[in-house]
Amino acid sequence: MSKNRYVRLFNSIKADDNAVKRAVDSIYETENAEVFEFEKKKSVNLRFVPILATSLVFVIILGLFIFPMTPKANNSFVVKAGASQINSIDDVEIGELMGENNALRISFDESDKANCLTQCKVVSFPVVCSGNNIDKVTYKVNGNGYFALLGDVKGVSGMVYVEEEPTSFEKAQKYPYNLADTGEYTEKVKEFTVDYEAQNESLSKLCLYTVDDNGKYCDLYNENICFEKSDGSFVHGKDLDYEQMYFELFTDGDGFDVINYSDYYVDVTVTFEDGTKETKIVNLGLEKTKKLYENGEDGEYTSLNIHAKLSK
């Protein structure tokens, strides 16, 4: 990846000769080069330690009389998305599939024939857990999907940033998710664990309706790319654009308006501080709706919204 513009900019930024001279002069003006102490540690006046200790014990004893030890709160947790609590009664909208949230990568061999294809729909997964005595939370996605992690997540085998595009299908399978065409690929995971305090709503994205195919590809990559899928069928390039994929993958023609919970669900397992665990299942579904543009444009567009609901 060329970075000439950035490099040229910083080549232009230099210290003045006078500034360098002043810095060098200051070195020689320092009298003692061997000892140049930073802040001295503040010392504690030891005379007051016994008085402080006695006072502290007294305060603790007094406190125990005034505020008797209360029992620890019971282990518990709820699953939330933003301000909403995901429950077993209502559908909670957690995200919207947008047209630009596709991840598509095609890898080519030496003869410019595509040899693997990965594609998926990406949606934010702003789900966190809240409760008492929680140590960590594990999310596991079931169905044709995986998580792409964008944060410092403890417990995951490791995020790998690959600068060079994976050239083999094996590598492409491991690093299929191309984030915003930056040349970086995050490792897909079916499951990740995060410390309770480290949770945040932007930690992960959910990649749904993934297509990983190592079938034979028969044509050069262009806008009319054609490839043979592993089941022997052929798909043409125009079928890979956003609208077609939507309806090819999860609609029955125009009849899809209902919420479908059967394909995707996430096991949310909380490990409490005492080592016990509890799991709640978050079912995911899609709803096709019409929405008005929010950017000042007139008219409405078809939106696919991700909903979440707890299993009973």
Residue 132 interacts with other proteins (CB under 8 A): yes or no: no
Nearest to 311 by CA among 290, 285, 292, 276: 285
Cβ contact 262:248 at 8 Å:
no
Residue 198 binds other proteins (CB under 8 A): no
List, in order, residues 6 or more apart from 169 with CB less than 8 Å away: 107, 115, 116, 214
Q: Which stretch binds other proteins (CB under 8 A): 106-114, 144-152, 239-247, 304-312?
A: 144-152
Q: Which residue lies nearer to other proteins by CB, 35 or 60? A: 35
Nearer to other proteins, 4 or 74 (CB): 4
Number of chain residues interacting with other proteins (CB under 8 A): 43
Which position has the token pair 């810095």? 23
Closest approach, Cβ 97 to other proteins, in A, equals 20
Q: Are 175 and 112 in contact (CB under 8 A)?
A: no
Length of the chain: 312
Whole-angstrom distance, CA of residue 156 vs CA of residue 38: 40
Among 98, 151, 261, 280, binds other proteins (CB under 8 A): 151
Residues numbered 95 to 114 that lie near other proteins (CB under 8 A) are none
* Shortest spacing between CB 24 and other proteins, in angstroms: 5
- Angle 86-88-89 (CA atoms, 0-180°, nearest 5)? 100
Q: Does 32 bind other proteins (CB under 8 A)?
A: yes
Binder of other proteins out of 49, 150, 258, 292 (CB under 8 A): 150
Task: Provide the minimum distance between the beta carbon of 251 and other proteins in the complex, in angstroms, as a whole number.
Answer: 31
Q: Is 3 in the site for other proteins (CB under 8 A)?
A: yes
4 belongs to the binding site for other proteins (CB under 8 A): yes
E strands present in the chain: 76-81, 84-85, 92-97, 102-108, 114-124, 127-132, 134-142, 145-149, 177-178, 185-186, 188-189, 191-195, 204-213, 226-228, 234-236, 264-272, 277-292, 300-310
**Binding to other proteins by residue 155, rule CB under 8 A?**
no
- Tell me, residue by residue from 176 to 195, as one string, x for binding to other proteins by CB under 8 A and - for no binding: ---xx-x-x-----------
CA distance 228 to 216: 5
Binding site for other proteins (CB under 8 A): 1-16, 19-20, 22-24, 26-28, 30, 32-38, 150-153, 158-159, 161, 179-180, 182, 184
